[in-house]
Amino acid sequence: MECMGKRILIPFRHAKKVVAYAAAAREGGADPVTASVENKLSLEGFDGLLLMGGSDVNPARFGGTARPETDPPDDERDEVELALIQEAMERDAPIFGICRGLQILNVYHGGTLVQHLEAIARHDPEKDDHSGPAHEVAFVPKSKLAEIAGAETWQVNSRHHQAVLKLGAHLHVAARDLEDGTVEGIERHDKRFLVAVQWHPEDQTKRHPEQRRLFESFAAAL
C-alpha cells in the first residue's frame, strides 16, 4: 500500500513489543516510525499518533491510590504520551489508541480507570495464542467504530486488567463487552480521527482480517 505522507509515530517502552503494532499499521497503509519514550519525542514531521499497550497509567494522574494489583508507575512514559496527545490535539492529528492507549486517552480527557477488573479471567485470560478470541463486543449504533466494523458485534482478543471507569470529557463510548458492559471502545467526534479500542487488533489482523479495518481507517484519516 502507498504510505507516502502517512507517517505515524508509535512511542514504546520495550522494543520487542512494538513490532506487531508497526506491522499492523503498515498493513493498513501507514508508514510507522517507532521511538523509545526514553527520548524527547514530538509529532513534528508525523501525520498521526498510535498509542500502544503496556503498563498501567499511574493512578495518581486520575486522583487514585495504587492498588496492590496495579503496575509500578512509569511516569516517564505517561508524561511523554500525554504530551504527544496534547500535540496531536492541537494539530488535529489522527490518534489510534490500543489497550493502554485507550486508557491514557481517557485519563488525558479527565476520566478515571478501574484499576483491577473483577472479571479478570474474562478480560485477561491465560492464553498463549494472543490472536484467539476471548469475548464479544457490541458496537454502539452509528458510532465511528460501528462504521469501521460494518457489524453489530465482533469477537475480540483481550489482555487487560484495567478499564474505563468515568469517561473523560468530549469522549463517547463506542463499544462494550456484550456480557458485562466493560467499555471496549471510545472515540471523539469533534476531531478528525480519535478512536481507541481495549483489545489488541495488532495480534488479530492475520487470523481475523476484519481487524485490519481499524488500521486502514486510521491510515485513511492521515
Q: Is 202 a catalytic residue?
A: yes
Partner residues linked to 114 by β-bridges = 163
User: Amino acid identity of 93?
Assistant: A
Question: Out of 123, 135, 160, 200, which one is annotated catalytic?
Answer: 200
Question: Out of 81, 99, 123, 160, which one is annotated catalytic?
Answer: 99
The catalytic residue positions are 99, 200, 202
